[in-house]
Amino acid sequence: MDDPKTLVSTDWLAAHLDDPDLRVIDASWHMPATGRDARAEYEAAHIPGARFFDIDAIADTRSPLPHMAPQPEMFVSRLRAMGIGDGHQVVIYDNSDVHSAARVWWIFRLMGKTDVAMLDGGFAKWQAEGRPVEDMPPITRDRHMTVQRQAGLVRDVTQVAAAAKLGDHQIIDARSVARFRGDEPEPRPGLRAGHIPGAKNVPVGQLYTPDGTMKPVDELRAVFESAGVDLARPAITTCGSGVTAASLALALERLGKRDWSLYDGAWAEWGSYPDLKIATGDA
């Protein structure tokens, strides 16, 4: 079901691609070990009119942690330069195994922008259907943008530590089973292996079908429930560095759940602090 505030199909985007107030964003991002260059791939081929959103550059560069959410001033400046502003319907896609478009969807929501959706199936599905692509950069015009940061959609390490201790939130981790259990070393050096005590594991791949589209709402609910997630409790989503956690947030939003937030520091932060407790094995 197409919803311009969460998820839209390739058919929907094709039907609206020429709308004057539609803006398309390529938010592809890849784990460093893949050796892929998201910007170079964008420059070679992208959906007509798409702008490139660099998750590592449009970020809080003062933080030692990877691609933390940008300050509102930076977000506004960069998006205005991309020709994106108030009154635009935004559709975000990626060509990434980690579904990085969901991360940028969350950043828009964090900034109070709600007319934003992820493209279901992303660039791979768009290309597989033989839809148009181009290699030319879009012509952009500055557009005024106002934002209102929604502090309730993000959590810091102190808040997550309190939630884990009190047990008043359901913490949901999108990393693989092996990383969650602590059986596999983290891809970032210097991090302990394991998970936040009390967290439940919903590997991000379980939210998607083989063609990269997000599972229907009833199947998403079953995924969370089979992992032991109590959907009646407020949720905090987490992962390795805050990218795949956004897919959990998007899925929860699709379920109609509104009391969720994302731990932006994620395991890149938690796993680096020796004084924070960790758990290993199953939840």
**Residue positions annotated with a catalytic role:** 239
Tokens of 208: 């998607």
For 16-79, give the secondary structure using H, E and C: HCCCCCEEEEECCCCCHHHCCCHHHHHHHCECCCCEECCCCCCCCCCCCCCCCCCCHHHHHHHH
Cβ atoms of 239 and 175 within 8 Å: the answer is: yes
3-state SS class at 174: coil
Cβ atoms of 265 and 242 within 8 Å: the answer is: yes
Separation between Cα atoms, residue 119 and residue 253, nearest integer Å:
15
